[in-house]
Amino acid sequence: MAEEIAISLKNVSKCYKRYPHPVERLKEILLPGKSRAEEFWALRDIDLEIPKGHTLGIIGQNGSGKSTLLQIIVGTLTPTTGAVTVNGRISALLELGSGFNPEFTGRQNVFFNGRLLGMTQEELENKFDEIAAFADIGEFIDQPVKTYSSGMFVRLAFAVATHVNPEILIIDEALSVGDILFQRKCFRKIEQFYQDGKTILFVSHDLTSILQLCDRAILLDKSLMISQGEPRQVALAYKSLIAQREADQNTDLASFQQKYEQKNDNQIGESRIGFGGAEVISVEVVNSQGTTTQTVEWADIITVRITIYFYREVVRPFVGFAIKDLKGIPIIGTNTFHSKKDLAPTLAKSMVVIEFSWQCYMSPGNYTVSAGVAELGENHSITQLDRRFDMLPLAVVGNPPSLGFFALPINIECNVLDNSQNIFSDRQINASSISSS
């Protein structure tokens, strides 16, 4: 059965005209037939379908076209070419300040913005207390929005955007303004939207948030969509793009190389980037008995052993590893530079083995191991010589006594107080009623 489409874009492009001088615009109006403007294409030939109930992450550098794409979907911009179809009520939290009148109070803006989003006055009156409680800005709800801090503004804007019963929620970087506790509250709300089968578009430079929240992703670059699919691979494509840009800016480096290998349909493929000069030959996981393995027991002492071959002399090398879950979220990792374990300069045609050991308290589950070698230059600049992502699967098994990414052993103490010390002695607690409840 085909999935129902929430948003469809067919050959969507957006072109802006840029005039060298304002008078050239007037000349073009008065003397038609000759264009005096330079064309700037913010988006080119975007074909995209987003099924209902999916969360799409949108990744790209500043100026890549992310905000233009969102504004076209919302309807505040008209595409130059192509067609956009949206099935469902949209609520969008775009750039800070959009959609609110700074002269109105927070209360007035709730009703004003809510009516723009298609809600009735009665619906907004019924929802207002819930919106105000979520925003949690106290008496400022009756103060003009122009007096708000950026954090207070985003609190109210997010509260409105998520409480007007949208079928499609769009968020563009705005959550980076809020404090940590409010960000967590927002992420819980987004997770609830996903569980309720809503469609979500999420723009962020934080790849961890994209990996955690999204089930699909696209990568925009210079107005083009250059990658789409599973978030982990799109994030790796973005990292490769950034590394390629760094290589283009430094002509002294060896030519940049990257590749991706999909091992089979059931495994995450390995990807690899680097400038050359050194190569990660192998990565092994060794348990406390000295056995090379891909399955380790919880709480065992394990070692990640990385073997590197240097094709040239590297004056300040450093080596690192990372273990990630199947969404690509880093769980543990380090490198010799951050650990202040400086490596000696390496000679050309030399082999080096680096070992990282620790007690494995990661929760039981499936992970991947990545490794890399880099060179530290002047002003702490970093040249990635060889980075191999997801080159080795790793499984942790066991029955730990706690929960979380790290199932750490936790000491528990229980002290029974006598009646003179009992802080609840002034309360008459009915033990039988507690047990029966």
User: Which stretches within 118-167 are classed as H helix?
Assistant: 121-135, 150-163
pLDDT of residue 248: 65
Is residue 213 domain-shared with residue 281, that is, in the same domain? no
pLDDT digits (tens, 9 = 90+) for 122-143: 888 998 999 999 888 889 999 9
Amino acid at 192: Q
Percentage of the chain beyond pLDDT 70 is 84
pLDDT of residue 81: 94
pLDDT of residue 254: 46
Question: Considering the domain boundaries, does residue 325 fall inside one?
Answer: yes
Question: Considering the domain boundaries, does residue 411 fall inside one?
Answer: no
Is residue 137 domain-shared with residue 47, that is, in the same domain? yes
**The domain spanning residue 317 has which CATH number?**
2.70.50.60
**The domain spanning residue 100 has which CATH number?**
3.40.50.300
- DSSP per-residue letters across 322-391: EEEETT--EEEEEETTTTT-PPPPB-TTEEEEEEEEEE--BPSEEEEEEEEEEEE-GGG-EEEEEEEEEE
Is residue 25 domain-shared with residue 58, that is, in the same domain? yes
Q: CA-to-CA distance for 396 and 385, rounded, in angstroms?
A: 30
Query: In the predicted model, is pLDDT for residue 427 greater than 60?
Result: no
Is residue 66 domain-shared with residue 200, that is, in the same domain? yes
Question: Considering the domain boundaries, does residue 427 fall inside one?
Answer: no
Is residue 183 domain-shared with residue 317, that is, in the same domain? no
Mean pLDDT of 291-310: 96
Q: CA-to-CA distance for 124 and 102, rounded, in angstroms?
A: 20
Total structural domains within the chain:
2
Out of 229, 260, 290, a domain closes at 229
Measure Cα distances from 156 to 98, 145, 203, 212, 384 in Å: 12, 10, 19, 24, 43
Which residue in 382, 358, 367 sits closest to 330, CA to CA?
367
Question: Considering the domain boundaries, does residue 437 fall inside one?
Answer: no
pLDDT of residue 29: 66
| Per-residue pLDDT band at 303 (split at 50, 70, 90) | very high
Question: Considering the domain boundaries, does residue 422 fall inside one?
Answer: no
| Per-residue pLDDT band at 433 (split at 50, 70, 90) | very low
| Per-residue pLDDT band at 177 (split at 50, 70, 90) | low
Helix, strand, coil abundance in the chain, percent, nearest 5 = 25, 35, 35
pLDDT digits (tens, 9 = 90+) for 315-364: 999 999 999 988 888 999 999 999 999 899 999 999 999 999 999 999 99
Is residue 135 domain-shared with residue 31, that is, in the same domain? yes
Mean pLDDT of 177-197: 80
In the block, tokens 């030399």 appear at: 350
Is residue 205 domain-shared with residue 272, that is, in the same domain? no
Question: Considering the domain boundaries, does residue 315 fall inside one?
Answer: yes
| Per-residue pLDDT band at 5 (split at 50, 70, 90) | very high
pLDDT of residue 259: 56
Question: Considering the domain boundaries, does residue 216 fall inside one?
Answer: yes
Percentage of the chain beyond pLDDT 90 is 44
Question: Considering the domain boundaries, does residue 244 fall inside one?
Answer: no
Q: What are phi and psi for residue 66, nearest 5 degrees?
A: -60, -50
Is residue 177 domain-shared with residue 288, that is, in the same domain? no
Is residue 192 domain-shared with residue 260, that is, in the same domain? no
| Per-residue pLDDT band at 55 (split at 50, 70, 90) | very high
Mean pLDDT of 280-300: 95
Please work out, in degrees rounded to the nearest 5, the angle formed at the alpha carbon of residue 415 by the alpha carbons of 411 and 417: 165
Is residue 224 domain-shared with residue 256, that is, in the same domain? no
Is residue 219 domain-shared with residue 257, that is, in the same domain? no
The boundaries of the domain holding residue 93 are 5-229
Is residue 215 domain-shared with residue 256, that is, in the same domain? no
